[in-house]
Structures are given as structure tokens and as C-alpha cells.
Chain A
Amino acid sequence: MSLRSLLVFSIVLLLAIMLACSTDDGPPLVVSDVEITSPMRGMSMSAGYLTLDNKGQNEIRITHVTSPQFAAVEIHETIVENDIARMRRVDELLIAPGETVRLERRGLHLMLKQARQDISTVNLSLYSNELLLLTLVTRIEEAS
């Protein structure tokens, strides 16, 4: 192969690689509508609500959530059946490809335990086992 042919081949190969990289569709997990309630007076606990969209091709499994502003964060679900309200811890959230899971009032929600100090913003990190999926920062919402 001549030097000229090799050069042309290299350029074509490089362009092909760049084109392949440019077709990346972005992160599979998209979070929106985030709301963390302010701890009630005399309490050190908050509730968290958010919308999770799986824009990817594979199932997303959220196993735990952490926050430096709280000692622990858990996923819970409120179930009201026959006028009886129960709250149960959820071990993991499964989001199928293309699916949306909403953490909202009277349903799935985050329970943020033991606020470490007076807080105005909250950092949340969502994990799938040891893999960090996403970190977000949001302001505390005062109860209306």
C-alpha cells in the first residue's frame, strides 16, 4: 500500500470513528421534577419526590440513594387501600427501557433521615449497586 493510500485510509477511519462517537444519545437516566421538602418543625426528616426517565436501551436498577446532608436516604412507598395508609421500604427501583417512574405524593418517595444540619440545598446520588448513576443538587422546598 502506498503512503498516499495509507494516508487516505487513516483519514477515512478517523472520520468513521468520529461519526460513531457523535451518534451518542446522551445519558440513559434523566431526572426531573425534583422536590425535597423542608423538615417539619422539630423533625430531622424530609421527603423527596422526582421523576426518573430511562432513555436508554437497558433496564435501570436503582438500589440506593445517598446524600451528604442526611444520615440515610431510603426509597419508600405509601399505599392507601380501603382508607388505610401503609408505608413500606422499597429495596430497589426498576425502570424498563423507555419507562418513566414517578416518585410523588401518596406513592413512591424518598425518605431522607436525620438531617445533619440546617440545610438549604441537597445533593443526591443515585446508585445501581456500586455504580454511580447520577448526582444532582436541588434546593429545599418550604412546605406550602
Chain B
Amino acid sequence: MSLKNLIIAFVLGIAMAAGIWTAINMQRANATLVTATRLPAAAELPQVSLLDHEARAIDERIFAGQWDLVFFGFTHCPDICPITLQILSAAKRQLADDDFEPLPRIVLVTVDPERDTPEKLAEYIAAFGDGNLGITGDLDQIRKLTASLGIYFQKQDTDDEYYSVDHSAVVIVMDPDGRFHSLFSSPHVIENFVHDVPLLVKHVGNEL
């Protein structure tokens, strides 16, 4: 091989290596979770007895069978709760438009079972799309579930029926085995769910 051909081959080799390196790094960047945090190992849930929004008795196995985006809020929350559920709903619609499967289910677990009856939940979650799940029930059982997930909530008494409940603003992700898989920290943005949910489902991305 002549010196000229050797130089050409060397340059082409460098260019090819650079291209491959760039492609790998771009793929790595897209595979990096934006706001979600995946647990090193999915955590089992404790046994709980609750009610769904159709007043049916359910237990922790309600989370098995599909990916769930679970938010802990209450229907008398005028601001952060409807905003979060609207974001989850919009993200799910965008994933559907992108033909992503399997689509996650949106779940609202009330931190205010005193006011959030199954009927109230059913009406409320219907405003955020079809196929959503509402969960209420005995306060102690809800506390048992939230404690296992690191979810905080505390009622703030007022003079009227419009008391507020302080609560965690994270979105918990449950895997199809019904285990605590990952979580999204606030503030919540539609694009972050659209980006990270497919990565979580495919078991790639950053770990804790």
C-alpha cells in the first residue's frame, strides 16, 4: 500500500471512530433519566386493605399487572393536585400519540379519606381521562401504604370544611409486579414523564 493510501485509510478510520463515539454518546444522553430515580431494587409493598373508586375492596395486589404512576393527593386541593394529574394525563396522551406501549395507568391515592369517598374519587379522576384508578379507605391502611413508600401527609385543621392536607408531591412508579420501582421528584413537567417513562419501562437509566 502506498503512503498516500495509508494516510487516506488512517483518516477514514479516525472519522469512522469519531462517528461511532458520537453516536454512542448521543444514545447515552437520551438514555439518561431526566428527573426519575430508579430504586436499586424494586420494593415489595406491605399488605393493605383499601377501597377503589367503585367502592370495591382491594389490596396491595391492585398495583400488579401494569405500570402505574401513583400520586398522593386529595380532591379538595385546588392547585398542586389537579395540576399534577393534568400533567400526568397530558404525558400519557403524548405517549399514546407516540405509539408507546405499555401505557402507564394513573392512580390517585387520597390522603384525605374523610372527605374523599369512592363516589367523590370516581367523579374527580374521570376529569383526567379514562382508565384512571382512585384509592381510598381506612386512614390507618392508607398510612401503612404511604409509610412503605416514604410518602408524607398531615391534615391541617381549619374552622370550616375546607381544611388542607400537607402531602408529598412526588409521583411513585409501580412496576407490573406491583412493586415500588422508581419515583419522579417535583416540579413535574410533561416532557420529563414522556422522556423517562419509556426508559424506566425498559429498565435502563440512572440508578440511585
Contact = CB atoms under 8 A, between A and B. Distances in A.
Interface string B152-174: 10001010101010111110000
Interface in B100-136: 119-120, 123-124, 126-127
B86 A144 contact: yes
Contacts of B76: 43, 45
A84 interface: yes
Interface stretch (A9-17, A24-32, A93-101, A103-111): A103-111
B124 A42 contact: yes
B80 interface: yes
A8 interface: no
A47 interface: yes
Contacts of A144: 86
A42 B75 contact: yes
Interface in A97-142: 105-106, 109, 111, 113
Given A45-B76, A80-B187, A87-B77, A40 B169 contact: no
B83 to A, nearest CB: 5
Contacts of B75: 40, 42-43
Contacts of A80: 80, 169, 186-187
B207 to A, nearest CB: 19
Main secondary structure of the interface of A (DSSP, over half): strand
A106 B127 contact: no
Contacts of A85: 80, 166-169, 186
B76 to A, nearest CB: 7
A42 B123 contact: yes
Contacts of B167: 84-85
Nearest to A104: B79
Nearest to B79: A78
B40 interface: no
B187 A40 contact: no
Interface in B77-108: 77-80, 82-83, 86
Contacts of A47: 78-79, 82
A46 interface: yes
A41 B120 CA distance: 9
Most buried by B among A37, A40, A43, A144: A40
A113 B185 contact: no
B78 A46 contact: yes
Interface of A: 37, 40-43, 45-47, 76, 78, 80, 83-89, 105-106, 109, 111, 113, 143-144
Q: Ordered nearest first, which 9 A-B pairs have the shortest CB separation? A: A42-B123, A47-B78, A85-B169, A41-B123, A86-B166, A87-B164, A85-B80, A78-B79, A41-B127
